[in-house]
Amino acid sequence: MRYLNLTVESLTCEKFLGADPIDRATWICLMRYCAQHETAGAIIAADTWGDRKWMQICGVTKAEVERDCGLWSWRDGSLVVAMYPVGQEENAKARREAGKRYGRGRGKISDSSPNSPPNSPPNSSLIDKDKGKDKDKDKDKDKDKDKEVVLPVFDSEEFRQAWKDWQKHRREIKKPLKPTMSKAQMAIFKEWGEARAISAIRYTIAMGWQGLKEPETTGLEVSESEIAERAKHAGRTVENYKQMKAEGKL
């Protein structure tokens, strides 16, 4: 059971008021154990338990439960807790079975807790749980969107590896690439050309930056393949591109 409903009569009866404070505390610990495990107020074969087991399971010592007290008694080696709410335990079991039989929120027995106000709507806790599940579903949808695969714009092994390294770098700096950003970068790579894109990725990773940036190099320091790619993009021949670059016209 999730709730332990102790009546006022139980806490004001002669057994409880006449017991020592340590016995009262022990009784409450025994009540808690029986309610949690729904034992109907009895701990079977409790006389075989050692002191360590009593402390770990019930939070009391063996010496404490062996004290002569009217709040519990021993019968054939089993400990029986006085004034245990057996009826409450049976109702809790009935509610659980009704939930299994009729489905969530359709059981004929109220699922409200023993302390719920009389005017509280039935199964309100189940409604709140359903709302929470709807929110979880929305979160799962967002996660699925983040898992959208963006295909590399160039099909070479060199570019694919550079792209994998770039994704790994962004994860390592706690700034993972989102699908929308990946698509935008692919568009930029397509405009730059493969050699230029790979160069920018390698340079950005080496510098540990978050945003893509091309290396600041002169035309003589750029590889022939990259020069050819840039010349093609500019609509010029390689020689013409080199000449204009040297003259500072590009």
The DSSP-derived string for 35-82 is HHHT-TTEETTGGG--HHHHHHHTSS-HHHHTS--TTEEEETTEEEET
Of the candidates 152, 164, 151, 158, the residue with the CA atom closest to the CA atom of residue 225:
158
Cα separations (Å) of 163 from 101, 168, 189, 202, 211? 54, 9, 11, 9, 14
Token reading at 130:
């359903």
Residue 42: the pLDDT is: 92
Q: Which two tokens stand for residue 85?
A: 């709410």
As a whole number of angstroms, the distance between CA 102 and CA 98 comes to: 6
**Rounded CA gap, 136 and 130, in Å?**
10
C-alpha span between 241 and 223 (Å, rounded): 13
> Crossing angle for the helix pair 194-207 and 157-172, nearest 10 degrees?
30
Nearest to 78 by CA among 54, 51, 43, 48: 43
Tell which phi-psi region holds residue 120, choosing left (phi > 0), alpha (psi between -120 and 50) or beta: beta
Per-residue pLDDT of the chain (250 residues; tens, 9 = 90+): 777 778 888 888 888 888 889 898 998 999 899 998 989 989 999 999 999 999 988 999 999 989 888 898 998 889 999 999 888 888 888 888 888 887 655 544 444 455 544 444 555 555 566 666 666 666 666 555 556 778 888 989 999 999 999 999 999 999 999 999 999 999 999 999 999 999 999 999 999 999 999 987 654 456 677 778 778 877 888 888 778 777 766 6
Residue 84 tokens read as: 């245990």
Q: Go through 210-239 and write b for each residue having 16 or more CB atoms within 10 A of its CB, e for each that does not.
A: eebeeeeeeeeebeeebbbbbbeeeebeee
Say what the pTM is. Answer: 0.41
Sign of the C-alpha dihedral, residues 107, 108, 112, 118?
positive
Whole-number pLDDT of residue 176: 93
pLDDT of residue 107: 47
Largest CA distance in the chain: 108
Q: Could you tell me if 99 and 88 are in contact, meaning their C-beta atoms sit under 8 angstroms apart?
A: no
